[in-house]
Amino acid sequence: MDRYCVFGNPIGHSKSPQIHRLFAEQTGQTLRYDPILAPLDDFAGAARAFFSEGLGANVTLPFKEDAYALADEVSERARRAGAVNFLMKRADGSLYGDNTDGAGLVSDLTANAGLDLRERRILLLGAGGAARGVIEYLLGQQPRALVIANRTVATAEKLAQHFADLGPVAASGFDWLSEPFDLIVNATSASLAGELPPIPPELIQPGHTVCYDMMYGKGLTAFNAWAEAHGAARTLDGLGMLVEQAAEAFLQWRGIRPDSASVLATLREQLLAGI
């Protein structure tokens, strides 16, 4: 049976095995997909052992840069991101790496949420790997401006310079911001600890601004609860991004695009039910 997996540490919480099982059932594909806890100090060894038989892998924290280093060839979007969340073994045994995070985010925003990002002012909070993986795709939507805000401004400035050829992107400190945005995307991990990025509520135009947290949980994330309290028109979490980036990977592995909407609906129901 064709084998696939997701690497991470920790990995027990991952919904990727369920997502790909649902994709396989829906499309009539026969495959096995397992979670693998890779050692923090030997991702390469775990990956090589898997790929002695396996065909493809998703890669989650903290191994996306390790996967980038391991791949024999990477896509241009992975090269831009400096990280890989997708590996595929080719017929000659070499490993191809890609990054589907940006495509997953934009699909969730445009197809699932129905947003038009053209000529919109977008604020991206954070300048780490999560932010780096989505900038190219956000700029591809032709926004009026994309501002990357980070506690360490120099890190945001490096990102802005790296992607400057793709569109109007600028860097900012959290405390430099004062004007409202059309869309605010939280790419920090603050919500995992129930914390907030240090930004003022004036960035939200009540009844207009949409706020998106890449994190997700049973209820509102800390960021989305804050956004709702200050009048955001809509709040969205990262569950849809997770499903959409998985659909991109499944398409490359199996040559067929699954219906992500039905799988997202199933996961959302389970999440609300506490499953």
The b-or-e profile of 241-273 (16+ CB within 10 A means b, else e) is bbbbbbbbbbeebbeeebebeebbeebeeebee
SS3 (DSSP) at 201: helix
How far, in Å, CA of 197 to CA of 203, rounded? Answer: 12
How far, in Å, CA of 80 to CA of 236, rounded? Answer: 26
How far, in Å, CA of 238 to CA of 17, rounded? Answer: 17
Instruction: For residue 183, give both structure tokens.
Output: 């869309």
> Do 245 and 59 touch, CB atoms closer than 8 A?
no
Q: CA torsion 207→269→271→24, rounded to 10°?
A: -120
* Residue 89 bears catalytic tag: no
The b-or-e profile of 111-150 (16+ CB within 10 A means b, else e) is ebeebebeebbbbbbbbebbbbbbbbbbbebebeebbbbb
| List of residues 6+ apart from 269 with CB closer than 8 A | none
Of 64, 89, 158, 218, the catalytic one is 64
Alpha carbon 274 to chain centroid, angstroms: 23
How far, in Å, CA of 252 to CA of 127, rounded? Answer: 28
Nearest to 235, CA basis, from 249, 247, 219, 250 = 219
The residues assigned a catalytic role are 64
